[in-house]
Amino acid sequence: MRLAILGGGPGSWIGHMHRSAAELDGWWRVVGGVFSGDPARSRDGGALLGYDRERCYGTLDELVAGERARPDPAEAVAIMTPNDTHYPLAAAALDAGLDVVCDKPVTHDAAQARDLVMRTRRHGRLFAVAHGYSAYPMTRYARHLVDTGAIGELRYVQVEYVQSGLAPRIEDAPQNNRLRWVLDPRRSGLALVMSAIGCHAQHLASFAVNRRVTSVCADAISVVPNREVIDTVSALLRFEGGLAGTFTAIQAAAGSENDIRLRVYGANGMLDWSHREPSYLRIAMLNEGPRVAGRGDANLPPEIVALGRAPRGHPEGLREAFANIYAEVAQERMLRALGEPVPAFRYPTIEEGAHTMAFIEACMASQGRWVDVAA
Ligand SMILES: NC(=O)c1ccc[n+]([C@@H]2O[C@H](COP(=O)([O-])OP(=O)(O)OC[C@H]3O[C@@H](n4cnc5c(N)ncnc54)[C@H](O)[C@@H]3O)[C@@H](O)[C@H]2O)c1
């Protein structure tokens, strides 16, 4: 299937991850795109990445017109532009009849995300959000164990995402294109730390326990002095069914790396997944020693094994997790086109993206009080 890229020009952070993940399993071929907000730079940037110059467009409008005129048009777009452009690009792509894979935060606010839900449904399109952490084999296995009651009735969830990128005052460093949009709250979103990593943490927790967050009591602050953007959010959570939990997202934790960790406690035991060792899931039952399940273990359900590519012990990472999202979207497209039954693929949907935006809004409104997350 043919994919066009929006964003992800030479030198961008996440562009290579998307482009290579989309093509990893052979489902998609990247045919071109719009690689910059500046039309001339977009055409040059796309050509530099190796795409046919004819298919390196200056704007999305040009792309839609140019691809429509071809016998082999792009069938979907992947959006990896600065955050404030996700909504207009996604809305226009859906209206043009394209399926969408969009990076997070999916929009600026929940109202925009709800609008994308409606457009996706109205046009009968597919819309995936690039929450890679819930597409690892072992986070999918955690969800499987929760769904099958392996740890008993759920009691508590702990999710944390800790980074160090905002520990120094990067506001005082020489600015580049990326820092300019990241440090501008009108462009990066309601709270920088939530746009960057908090959205992933909430999504992973909700995914693993298969429940939305219904209310939060949150503290959204900047721990680095004299900072305009929010770098830290701590929150108490209630999920559907009254399940309790805690949430930490901080980008100003000096010395940390890219530490996202999820622990789910049930009446009979717990699950522990950390991005430091993403191919493993620690399972500890009451009165038993812990055991470590690994990607590729023969006793895993076949649909979990199928999410990995190399045997146990051979590292796989975020690229492969992204590739799982692209593969599932492609398979759903194919089954729909063939008129065959479509199983419930687990890639993050626009409905989940809308819930994440409502969660972020609730965290920002909370100011230390319990507030509901809009349904
Ligand atoms: N899912 C993840 O794990 C993950 C990780 C990192 C970044 N991201 C997201 O990816 C997006 C991009 O982040 P980044 O760090 O790569 O940013 P970046 O600034 O490094 O790259 C942005 C790219 O988009 C291009 N661009 C800007 N405006 C454009 C427009 N209107 N049309 C087309 N191209 C345009 C720029 O030229 C650049 O190539 C952000 O939304 C970010 O939140 C997601």
One domain for residues 216 and 283: yes
Instruction: Find the angle CA(215)-CA(218)-CA(220) to the nearest 5 degrees.
Output: 140
Q: 3-state DSSP call for residue 265? A: strand
Instruction: Find the angle CA(190)-CA(319)-CA(26) to the nearest 5 degrees.
Output: 120
Instruction: Find the angle CA(93)-CA(42)-CA(3) to the nearest 5 degrees.
Output: 40
| CA 83 to centroid of ligand 1, rounded, Å | 7
> How confident is the model over 264-293, as pLDDT tens digits?
999 999 999 999 999 999 999 999 989 999
- Specify the number of domains making up the chain: 2
One domain for residues 69 and 212: no
DSSP state of 168: S
Please state, in angstroms and rounded to a whole number, the distance separating the CA atoms of residues 225 and 250: 14
- Mean of pLDDT values over 362-375: 97
Domain span holding position 87: 2-132
Helices marked H in the chain: 15-24, 39-48, 60-68, 86-95, 110-123, 137-147, 177-182, 185-188, 192-193, 199-209, 302-305, 318-338, 350-366
> How confident is the model over 6-59, as pLDDT tens digits?
999 999 999 999 999 999 999 999 999 999 999 999 999 999 999 999 999 999
The pLDDT value recorded for residue 336 is 97
Tokens of 322: 């992204």
One domain for residues 148 and 112: no
pTM, full prediction: 0.98
Q: Are 172 and 242 in contact (CB under 8 A)?
A: no
CB-side exposure of 56: number of CA atoms within 13 Å? 23
One domain for residues 150 and 298: yes
| CA 71 to centroid of ligand 1, rounded, Å | 29
The pLDDT value recorded for residue 80 is 98
| CA 9 to centroid of ligand 1, rounded, Å | 8
Tokens of 345: 């693929």
Final residue in a domain of this structure, among 82, 114, 132: 132
Torsion over CA: 191, 195, 198, 204 (sign) = positive
> How confident is the model over 129-167, as pLDDT tens digits?
999 999 999 999 999 999 999 999 999 999 999 999 999
Q: Whose CA is nearest to atom 36 of ligand 1?
A: 36
- Buried/exposed 324-334: b ≥16 CB within 10 Å, e otherwise: bbbbbbbebbe
Please choose from 36, 133, 204 the residue to mutate so as to test ligand 1's pocket, defined by most ligand atoms within 8 A of CB. Answer: 36
Q: What is the CATH number of the domain that holds 65?
A: 3.40.50.720
- Mean of pLDDT values over 313-329: 97
Final residue in a domain of this structure, among 132, 157, 174: 132
One domain for residues 65 and 101: yes
One domain for residues 36 and 168: no
> How confident is the model over 93-136, as pLDDT tens digits?
999 999 999 999 999 999 999 999 999 999 999 999 999 999 99
Query: Is 180 within a domain?
Result: yes
- Ligand 1 atom at shortest distance from the alpha carbon of 133: 3
One domain for residues 30 and 63: yes
One domain for residues 106 and 154: no
- Cα-flanking dihedrals φ and ψ of residue 154, to 5°? -70, 140
* Beta-carbon count within 10 A of 175 CB: 12
Query: Is 209 within a domain?
Result: yes
Q: Whose CA is nearest to atom 14 of ligand 1?
A: 13
The pLDDT value recorded for residue 254 is 98
Q: What is the CATH number of the domain that holds 227?
A: 3.30.360.10
Distances (CA, A) of 25 to 75, 89, 194, 322: 17, 26, 31, 11
One domain for residues 87 and 171: no
> How confident is the model over 176-222, as pLDDT tens digits?
999 999 999 999 999 999 999 999 999 999 999 999 999 999 999 99
Instruction: Find the angle CA(124)-CA(212)-CA(87) to the nearest 5 degrees.
Output: 45
The pLDDT value recorded for residue 85 is 98
One domain for residues 128 and 141: no
> How confident is the model over 221-257, as pLDDT tens digits?
999 999 999 999 999 999 999 999 999 999 999 999 9
Whether the pLDDT of residue 312 is over 90: the answer is no
Final residue in a domain of this structure, among 132, 167, 200: 132
29 membership: H or E segment, kind and range: strand 29-34
Q: Which residues, judged by CB distance below 6 Å to any ligand atom, belong to the binding site of ligand 1?
A: 6-9, 12-15, 34-37, 80-83, 85, 103-104, 130, 132, 177-178, 195
Q: How far is CA 18 from the centre of its chain?
A: 12
Tokens of 125: 């399109």
| CA 6 to centroid of ligand 1, rounded, Å | 9
Q: 3-state DSSP call for residue 7? A: strand
